Amino acid sequence: MEFQKLYDFTYSLTKLYEKASDRTSFVEGIKSAFSLFFAINEIKIYLLDEYSFLLKDFTKPWENLLDDDFTNEIKKYYDDFLFKKSKYIALDNILYFPIVYKNKTLGLIKIKAVEKINENNDFFKIFPLISAQISMYIVQLKNNEQIKISSKFHQTIRNIAQITQTQYELDYILPILGEMIDGFIQEHLIYIFIKNKNKKYKLIWPKKCFDNKIYDYLEEITPKSSVIIKEEGKMGIFPLIVDLKTYGAIVAYNHFDKINDKELEYLKEIKSQAQITLTSAKSYVEILKNATMDALTGYNNRNQFEKRLKETTSTAKRQNQPLCCIMSDIDYFKKVNDTYGHAVGDCVLKNVAKTIKKELREYDIPSRYGGEEFVFLLPQTNIEEAKIVAQRLRSAVESKKINIEEYNIKDTKEISVTISIGVSEFDKNEKDYEMLYKKADSALYEAKESGRNRVVVKN
């Protein structure tokens, strides 16, 4: 056999291990390396799952193999490698060989060649080296994945702990919690439920849940519940309980496999941190009853806005002066959080608030209404003037470059966002003073529905 071929094969596997970004690219790389010896149609790797003790497709570990003749054949060859210690099995144009590491048979590799496999092929002369090298790389790849999972878990815990630095409303916190958990626990369906005033469980993340039996299981939660396991171990219900009061629940569901011990450990830790976060939010709400400013933006908080709204509408009516309201929302803000993380999301909120503040007059009243939504009261301003102000705010935000270098986002040093805006004018004949911002909110909805990054006026 040519030394060059051996060198090329070994070198290609080494470079593959360095560059492969995921399991699929790893398998494609092995296929490319093997093409030095065979014209290959397909290559498959099957590994024994350490928790379910089932053979699984290396690139789709979340799926169980079908109970059919093909799977039974795979199991038969695996058992042959496990008990008879065969080096390989060649059948016409198909080759099977085991993945062995430290004398443990971890799985097998199937190669489907274009033509009948010749056992005098150079491949078989260096087979022990090939088998050992691939087995070692697969184990190292799995170990690296576990390190990344552990790192991601701790980052998720930190992110959950930091939510209440900027948010305190359950309707906002719990969906963020769902996004964070779903980004970490990707092999399971994740649902977040909140318990409403009527003591009924309402899905708050994601938008839909098609398993109605989950709602029945949720009714089994008591103030002393820790974790409820259902569906033969495939579903875990993790109640969110603070001071013996149930605020909601996290549900993890895998239709194929039981939740394994490691996943259960992760989810218990996440539940525990989520409960600490809810406790902090609860305490923060009590503090905010006497506070007037939003800690993140320096604007009035929602409670203070409601007080200023009543004052300014009363003044406008008494002095017969115009008054307008602007409501704005950062477009696709969820995508910012999903793409760059919630720390960058907070940075965006701060910068947008700062950019807008520069465009307002000293006596205008800026408030953070909630999440990424802002509301501005413009005393002594008619609707035409307010429309000009709104366009100025929109343009200023659109042209602002937000520096995010400190967050070490790969290939991204700055980002831009846009805002949608709704504008309304106070009707002095309207008995309900809250209609001022409600009309602006309705106009904001129209702005978002009609394409975003625009101003809509509600006459």
Catalytic residues: 372
Nearest to 356 by CA among 333, 385, 328: 328
Q: How far apart are the first and last CA of the chain?
A: 84
Which letter, b or e, does each residue of 227-257 get, where b requires 16 or more Cβ atoms within 10 Å of its Cβ? ebebbeebbbbbbbbbeeebbbbbbbbbeeb
Token pair, residue 164, equals 């209440």
What whole-number distance in Å separates Cα of residue 77 and Cα of residue 72?
9
Which single residue is written with the structure tokens 């065979």? 38
Q: What is the CA radius of gyration of the chain?
A: 30
Contact between 235 and 264 under an 8 Å Cβ cutoff? The reply is no
Residue 261 DSSP SS3: helix
Which single residue is written with the structure tokens 């629940």? 249
Residue 246 DSSP SS3: strand
Peptide bond into 206 cis (omega under 30): yes
In the sheet that holds 40-48, the strands lie side by side as: 55-57, 40-48, 104-113, 94-101, 89-91
| Helices and strands in the chain, H and E counts | 13, 17
What whole-number distance in Å separates Cα of residue 423 and Cα of residue 393?
12
What whole-number distance in Å separates Cα of residue 325 and Cα of residue 426?
8
Sign of CA dihedral 298, 301, 306, 311: negative
Contact between 174 and 182 under an 8 Å Cβ cutoff? The reply is no
What whole-number distance in Å separates Cα of residue 198 and Cα of residue 178?
22
